[in-house]
Amino acid sequence: MKNFVVYIGLLFSTTLFALEQPTERIVLTVSGLITNTNRGDSAIFDRKMLAQIPQKTVVTHTPWSEGKHTYSGFNPKDFFALLGIKGDKLSLTALNDYTIEIPMNDFLKEGAIFATHMDGIPMTIRNKGPIMVIYPFDDNPKLKVETYFGRSIWQVTEMTIR
């Protein structure tokens, strides 16, 4: 019976959520405790693949832009399901080697998103893209503290699930 359960789990992770191969520039590499991979032990993504994941929007001011903006990008919940994550910590690394570890529960509870677009326009590296963590600061003033500013990492290129 135990073997049967393991087999079903394997079936679901490999057939239901099969990861395709990127055809464009790789913008994100995920490694660590994930069950779905498409390059060795990692999962790699181009912009097109990220756009196919269900999207989520946050409208807010941030300390990094003037005025209120609409940020949209792949929904963390759907993304973590797609990866088949087996950890509870999210370690993110940026182009400048800035790195931050975020408890997964808190990330989801506070409604953070992986923004790829600002006001409908793809975020380029010079505009803090291709991926930036955005918290809904306007909805929840308690987020306006150093902890969450520090977790608002931009130019994200790598994720490790621990």
Which residues in this chain contact ligand MTE in the complex, by CB under 6 A? 63-64, 94, 96, 98, 146, 149-150, 152-155
Tokens encoding 74: 């792949």
Residue 64 touches which of Mo ion, ligand MTE, none (Cβ within 5-8 Å per kind): ligand MTE
CB 23 within 8 A of CB 46: yes
| 54 forms part of the interface with Mo ion (CB under 5 A) | no
CA distance 36 to 39: 10
CA distance 63 to 6: 47
Q: How far is the CB of 145 from Mo ion (least distance, A)?
A: 10
Minimum distance of ligand MTE from residue 98's CB (angstroms): 3
Name the one range near Mo ion by CB under 5 A: 5-13, 21-29, 109-117, 148-156. 148-156
Q: Which stretch binds Mo ion (CB under 5 A): 11-19, 48-56, 88-96, 145-153?
A: 145-153
Minimum Å gap between C-beta 18 and ligand MTE is: 31
The 8 Å CB, 24+ separation contacts for 63-68 are: 63/149, 64/128, 64/152, 64/154, 65/118, 68/138
Q: How far is the CB of 150 from Mo ion (least distance, A)?
A: 4
Of 38, 30, 16, nearest to 74 by C-alpha is 30
Nearest approach in angstroms of CB 151 to Mo ion is 9
Question: How far lies 106's CA from each of 89, 118, 161, in Å?
Answer: 10, 23, 14
Collapse the DSSP code of 48 into the 3-class scheme (helix H, G, I; strand E, B; otherwise coil) and give the result: helix
Sites for Mo ion among residues 27-46 (CB under 5 A)? none
Question: Which residue type does 118 have?
Answer: M
Tell me whether residue 153 or residue 161 sits nearer to ligand MTE (CB atom). Answer: 153
150 binds Mo ion (CB under 5 A): yes
Instruction: Check binding of 101 to Mo ion (CB under 5 A).
Output: no
- Which positions touch Mo ion (CB under 5 A)? 150
